[in-house]
Amino acid sequence: MADGRRHPQPGDLIEIDRKVYQHWALYVGDGYVINVTPVDEGAPSLSVSTTSIFTRKAKVKKQLLKEVVGNNKWCVNNKYDRSRTPLPVKEIIRRAERWIDREVPYDVLGSNCEHFVTELRYGEGVSDQVTKAVIGTTAAVGGILLVGLATAVVKSLCGDSSRRERNYY
């Protein structure tokens, strides 16, 4: 659950509401966040999830929070703090800054923007929005078989992230 603060502290997770999904960034201080963006420099960071599905890559950028947010709503959301222990703030920032301007694998199901920032904060990449989307699809359609098929289709588009190493530190 979001804590509603509008004044993030270094190491905080920032949840940005988009029309179909949430984009995630890590606040590093002085108005800046680190987040994954499309590899194509001309593509806006707002479309990272749709653009990167097809490229299977994203680029880590340090940008002003207000530029990443645009006209969307956002909040500090360290929702996993109840079940995971955050790393020390200096370690979170050090790990994050090592990735600036580097390309990383991108996969909606296994290596998305939320996975990236939670790996930096907790040492483990997790994404509730993926879990909720899969469960929601199962409930709406009423069959696990269709979710399995949809997962296989998305993985074929994105590549199987289980075969790639992900270490965001």
For 117-145, the pLDDT digits (tens) are 999 999 999 998 766 655 554 444 444 44
pLDDT band at 155 (very low <50, low <70, confident <90, very high): very low
Of the pLDDT bands very low, low, confident and very high (cuts 50, 70, 90), residue 103 is: very high
Active site residue: 7, 23, 75, 158, which one?
Answer: 23
Annotated active-site residue 113? The verdict is: yes
The span from the CA of 45 to the CA of 144, in Å, is 33
- More confidently predicted of 128 and 1: 128
3-state secondary structure of 37: strand
- Strands of the sheet containing 13-17, edge to edge, are 74-76, 13-17, 22-29, 32-38, 57-64, 103-105
From CA 141, how far away is CA 139, in angstroms rounded?
Answer: 6
Query: Against a cut of 0.75, is the pTM above it?
Result: no
* 39: nearest Cα among 56, 27, 24: 56
Indicate the DSSP class of residue 21.
S
Considering the candidates 7, 75, 113, 115, report the single residue annotated as catalytic: 113
Cα(119)–Cα(160) distance, integer angstroms = 19
CATH topology classification for 13-163: endopeptidase fold (from Nostoc punctiforme) (3.90.1720)
Six token digits for residue 149: 């098929």
Instruction: Express each pLDDT in 70-95 by its tens digit.
Output: 999 999 999 999 999 999 999 999 99
CA distance 126 to 110: 8
Residue ranges per domain, the chain? Answer: 13-163
- Cα separation, 138 vs 159, whole angstroms: 22
DSSP characters over 112-165: -HHHHHHHHHHSS---HHHHHHHHHHHHHHT-HHHHHHHHHHHHHHH--GGGS-
pLDDT tens figures, 6-21: 699 999 999 999 888 8
Active site residue 158: no
